[in-house]
């Protein structure tokens, strides 16, 4: 009997201890933040985080594998802009790579730190700004302290989050810009035979400058066809033909790559800025699991989420809120969307019309807005991405292997840019 009572007492004691342990686990807060992992399906992983020095603003671009939501606030005492991205796994981000990317941004003199932290159920990004910067007094030729006036524009949409950081110099430039230097050419709208765009006569008489971007390259083959053809071959061949035609017509034209090399997207966008290009045209070939998918299509930037000021948050640091400036920035975004659409749509229509006169069953899949990574890194000029066909479709792959077919595509793209009256066919290669 005593032995039974002893075991019974042990059982009761063990039950009480278990209840206390369980209660403590429920009530006591976790001292260590929940760091989401790749294995936890409730969290989203990073697809990429890009940091770049744009023509108008410094930009941070985040893309997750799943839709995300954000909470943002400004800590004026600490001079910090804090973003919590809910459900994002910081453990999937190569922080060392990001720290290397941020170094050029820190060297500008208005961002002091860029920190990444694991918060409970989220990833936290903290930008710490320098409240003051040193400038040279032109009268005394000596350094003096001046306020760092900054505008932060942020936008969260589906799987993306972008931060644009405008300095005072950039903001002054935007306010002084009374008109965009590119306009739709009148003769194009009247008869369809002239150039698509023209310079604003009041600002410049220089010819427009084009960047042609052959997609993929090097170890990045892109889509592959049953006949051994790869996307990188198709894009380079068509791009070279466009380049030669425009050169013979005396247009300033450049390519992001002239040979079979792999080139990061950021470098492609930087080349466009370095060459002071007016238009960026990226050539690609499509691929799909469904081998019956076929046709040509075009994409332009930005998608609809970025065309409304309602989707943006504007934070002014060391300066009063400026509604006129916000409108000016949004006008620039909408103008880029308009010009990018016209660029992509006109090229696609020309390719479709030109090919349809020689080949049957040319499928026009339409012009669509998109936020491709390449587009997000190239927001300062009108940009279009042209898909010239599906390499995974046997009929289109066989056509794209023909030099004559690729030549016609290149001709039609040049027709769209400079007009048929310039006679690109005479310069065709």
Q: Are residues 149 and 182 in the same domain?
A: no
Domain count, the chain: 2
Last residue of a domain, one of 136, 153, 175: 175
Does any domain span residue 5? no
For 272-291, write each residue's pLDDT tens digit. Answer: 878 888 899 999 999 999 99
Domain that includes residue 250, residue range: 177-427
Q: 154 forms bridges with which residues in the sheet?
A: 163, 313
In a domain, 287, yes or no: yes
Domain containing 230 — which CATH number? 3.40.630.40
Segment 23-74, tens digit of pLDDT: 322 222 333 333 333 344 567 888 888 877 766 778 888 888 888 888 898 9
Tens place of pLDDT per residue across the chain (429 aa): 444 444 444 444 444 444 333 332 222 233 333 333 334 456 788 888 887 776 677 888 888 888 888 889 899 888 899 999 888 877 666 767 777 777 777 877 788 888 888 877 788 889 998 888 777 877 888 888 888 888 998 888 788 888 888 887 777 777 665 444 455 554 454 455 666 666 554 444 467 899 999 999 999 999 999 999 999 999 999 999 999 999 999 999 999 999 999 998 878 888 887 888 889 999 999 999 999 999 999 998 766 666 666 778 888 888 888 888 888 888 877 888 888 899 999 999 999 999 999 999 999 999 998 877 666 666 678 889 999 999 999 999 999 999 999 999 999 999 999 987 666 555 555
Instruction: Write 95-104 long-range contacts (CB < 8 A, 24+).
Output: 98/49, 98/51, 101/49, 101/50, 101/51, 102/51, 104/51, 104/53
| Distance from C-alpha of 199 to C-alpha of 204, rounded to nearest angstrom | 6
Report yes or no on 405 lying in a domain. Answer: yes
Crossing angle of helices 168-176 and 323-356, rounded to 10°: 70
The CATH number of residue 106's host domain is: 2.60.40.3500
Report yes or no: 82 and 73 within 8 Å, Cβ to Cβ: yes
- Residues 331, 257: one domain? yes
- Cα separation, 97 vs 289, in Å, equals 33
Residue 186 shares a structural domain with residue 279: yes
Q: What does pTM read for this prediction? A: 0.77
Rg from Cα positions in the chain = 27
3-state secondary structure of 196: coil
228-254 residue pLDDT tens: 999 999 999 999 999 999 999 999 999
Q: Answer yes or no: do 206 and 285 share one domain.
A: yes
């Amino acid at each position: 009997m005593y032995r039974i009572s002893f075991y019974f007492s042990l059982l009761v004691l063990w039950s009480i201890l278990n209840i206390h342990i369980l209660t403590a686990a429920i009530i006591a807060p976790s001292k260590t933040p929940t760091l989401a992992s790749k294995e936890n399906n409730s969290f989203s992983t990073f697809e990429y985080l890009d940091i770049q020095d744009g023509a108008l603003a410094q930009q941070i671009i985040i893309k997750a594998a799943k839709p995300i939501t954000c909470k943002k606030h400004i800590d004026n005492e600490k001079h910090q802009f804090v973003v919590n991205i809910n459900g994002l796994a910081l453990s999937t981000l190569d922080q060392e790579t990001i720290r290397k990317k941020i170094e050029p941004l820190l060297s500008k003199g208005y961002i002091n730190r860029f920190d990444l932290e694991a918060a409970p159920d989220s990833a936290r990004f903290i930008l710490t700004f320098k409240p003051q910067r040193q400038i040279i007094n032109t009268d005394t030729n000596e350094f003096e302290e001046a306020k760092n006036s900054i505008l932060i524009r942020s936008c969260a949409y589906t799987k993306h989050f972008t931060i644009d950081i405008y300095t005072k110099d950039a903001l002054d430039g935007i306010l002084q810009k009374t008109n965009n230097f590119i306009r739709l050419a009148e003769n194009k709208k009247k008869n369809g035979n002239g150039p698509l765009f023209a310079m604003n006569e009041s600002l410049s008489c220089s010819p427009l400058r084009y960047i042609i971007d052959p997609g993929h390259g090097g170890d990045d083959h892109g889509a592959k066809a049953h006949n051994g053809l790869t996307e990188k071959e198709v894009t380079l061949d068509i791009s070279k033909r466009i380049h030669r035609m425009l050169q013979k017509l005396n247009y300033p034209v450049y390519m992001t790559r002239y040979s079979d090399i792999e080139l990061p997207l950021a470098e492609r966008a930087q080349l466009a800025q370095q060459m002071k290009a007016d238009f960026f045209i990226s050539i690609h070939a499509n691929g799909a699991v469904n081998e019956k998918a076929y046709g040509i299509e075009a994409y332009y930037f930005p998608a609809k989420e970025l065309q409304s000021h309602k989707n943006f948050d504007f934070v002014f640091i060391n300066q009063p809120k400026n509604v006129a400036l916000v409108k000016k920035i949004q006008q620039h975004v909408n103008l880029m969307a308009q010009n990018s659409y016209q660029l992509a749509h006109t090229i696609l229509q020309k390719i479709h019309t030109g090919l349809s006169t020689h080949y049957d069953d040319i499928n026009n899949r339409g012009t669509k807005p998109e936020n491709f990574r390449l587009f997000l890194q190239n927001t300062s000029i009108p940009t279009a991405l042209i898909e010239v066909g599906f390499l995974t479709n046997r009929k289109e792959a066989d056509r794209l292997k023909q030099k004559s077919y690729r030549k016609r595509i290149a001709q039609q793209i040049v027709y769209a840019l400079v007009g048929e009256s310039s006679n690109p066919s005479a310069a065709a290669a």
